[in-house]
């Protein structure tokens, strides 16, 4: 199977995150650290404090972690992610603000039917999370889900609450079954939502857990690998807006991509080429 990703690490404490990373690097190639936003409102009335969206900070890997990575010869990419709780359908302009767009992945957690409809039809987000730990207050409708799938959005099932508590487990299974029966198992990702390192599980176990959630065997494998990649691609595409070409400064190219510069012709050769083009092509004489 391809590379695995865990796209929802819920903890925000640096110490805990370091532990999580140390545990997760053995199996996962991409890890997304989540910031949860409970309120999408702008400036509050009567001078209330605005919800400050902290800038995503990379997690400092410990020396031990770095050592492990060196030994295995692997790289782990950190991705920043923002999950916004969507209650009110009128206050969504903040999602387009530059502070929010600074995050790599955008996710939305709708709490009612109107919010879910908005998320599926209009909002530019990558992932739709549903709170699986309690009974869903609305029915997931097929046309909305199909529209979301067409737009490239994915639905997320969190498994850490199921590991934590028995009631959460029952509700997660119940809600996940409802979701997968509506979306036919397409565009589903399974991620942890872990608050401690102990709540993580390996990707092969997760693909088995997907069978409990109503996914078929290949769908369940995709949920941990292929669909996560699709989410990341969707996020990249969203950042680039509607473009076909992306421009990157040569000074900002990663060392792995430097070969692109080396293989091109040197700049001094360019004017000659333009001269060649300007001269009209010599006509062939009649033979």
Contact segment (CB under 8 A) with another protein among 149-157, 168-176, 196-204, 268-276 equals 168-176
Smallest separation, CB 175 to another protein (Å): 9
* Torsions phi, psi for 198 (to 5 deg): -70, -15
Is 177 a binder of another protein (CB under 8 A)?
A: yes
CB contact burial 160-169 (16+ within 10 A = b; e otherwise): bbbbbeeebb
Contact segment (CB under 8 A) with another protein among 45-53, 153-161, 164-172, 275-283 equals 164-172
Is 230 a binder of another protein (CB under 8 A)?
A: no
Sign for the pseudo-dihedral over CA of 237, 43, 128, 3 = positive
Smallest separation, CB 143 to another protein (Å): 10
CA 38/CA 87 separation, integer angstroms: 9
Smallest separation, CB 177 to another protein (Å): 6
Is 174 a binder of another protein (CB under 8 A)?
A: yes
Of residues 198-217, those binding another protein (CB under 8 A): 212
Count Cβ atoms below 10 Å from residue 151 Cβ, excluding itself: 15
Provide the mask over 12-51, with x wherever binding to another protein is found by CB under 8 A and - wherever it is not: ----------------------------------------
Tokens for 178? 């409802």
Is 220 a binder of another protein (CB under 8 A)?
A: no
Are the CB atoms for 188 and 180 separated by under 8 Å?
A: yes
CA 155/CA 69 separation, integer angstroms: 31
Contact segment (CB under 8 A) with another protein among 29-37, 104-112, 169-177, 251-259 equals 169-177
Is 142 a binder of another protein (CB under 8 A)?
A: yes
The DSSP secondary-structure symbol of 214 reads: T
Smallest separation, CB 181 to another protein (Å): 9
Residues recorded for the chain: 287
Is 134 a binder of another protein (CB under 8 A)?
A: no
CA 32/CA 104 separation, integer angstroms: 9
Is 172 a binder of another protein (CB under 8 A)?
A: yes
Smallest separation, CB 227 to another protein (Å): 22
Smallest separation, CB 174 to another protein (Å): 4
Is 171 a binder of another protein (CB under 8 A)?
A: yes
Helices assigned H by DSSP within the chain: 14-24, 63-72, 98-101, 113-121, 142-150, 160-164, 166-183, 203-212, 217-224, 226-239, 259-263, 270-278
Candidate list 97, 170, 250, 273; residue touching another protein; CB under 8 A: 170
* Torsions phi, psi for 6 (to 5 deg): -115, 110
Report the relative pairing of strands 127-129 and 105-110 from DSSP bridges: parallel
Is 137 a binder of another protein (CB under 8 A)?
A: no
Size of interface with another protein, in residues (CB under 8 A): 11
CA 172/CA 102 separation, integer angstroms: 31
In this complex, which beta carbon is closest to another protein, that of residue 162 or of residue 228? 162
Q: Which residues of the chain form contacts with another protein (CB under 8 A)? A: 142, 166, 169-174, 177-178, 212
């Amino acid at each position: 199977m391809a590379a695995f990703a865990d796209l929802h690490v819920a903890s925000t404490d640096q110490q805990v995150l370091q532990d999580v990373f140390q545990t997760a690097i053995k199996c996962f190639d991409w890890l997304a650290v989540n910031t949860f936003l409970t309120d999408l409102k702008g400036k509050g009335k009567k001078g209330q404090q605005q919800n400050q969206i902290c800038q995503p900070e990379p997690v400092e890997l410990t020396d031990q972690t770095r050592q492990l990575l060196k030994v295995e010869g692997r790289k782990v990419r950190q991705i920043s992610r923002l999950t916004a709780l969507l209650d009110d359908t009128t206050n969504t302009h903040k999602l387009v603000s530059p502070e929010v767009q600074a995050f790599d992945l955008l996710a939305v957690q709708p709490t009612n039917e109107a919010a879910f409809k908005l998320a599926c039809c209009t909002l530019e987000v990558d992932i739709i999370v549903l709170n699986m730990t309690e009974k869903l207050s609305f029915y997931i409708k097929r046309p909305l889900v199909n529209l979301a799938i067409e737009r490239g959005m994915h639905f997320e099932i969190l498994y850490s609450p199921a590991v934590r508590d028995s009631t959460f487990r029952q509700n997660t299974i119940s809600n996940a079954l409802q979701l997968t029966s509506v979306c036919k198992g397409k565009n589903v990702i399974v991620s942890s939502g872990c608050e401690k390192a102990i709540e993580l599980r390996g990707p092969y176990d997760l693909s088995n857990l997907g069978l409990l959630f109503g996914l078929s065997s290949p769908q369940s494998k995709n949920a941990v690998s292929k669909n996560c990649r699709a989410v990341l691609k969707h996020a990249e595409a969203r950042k680039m807006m509607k473009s076909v070409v992306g421009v990157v400064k040569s000074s900002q190219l990663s060392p792995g991509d430097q070969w692109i510069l080396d293989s091109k012709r040197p700049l001094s050769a360019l004017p000659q080429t333009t001269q060649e083009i300007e001269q009209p092509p010599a006509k062939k004489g009649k033979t």
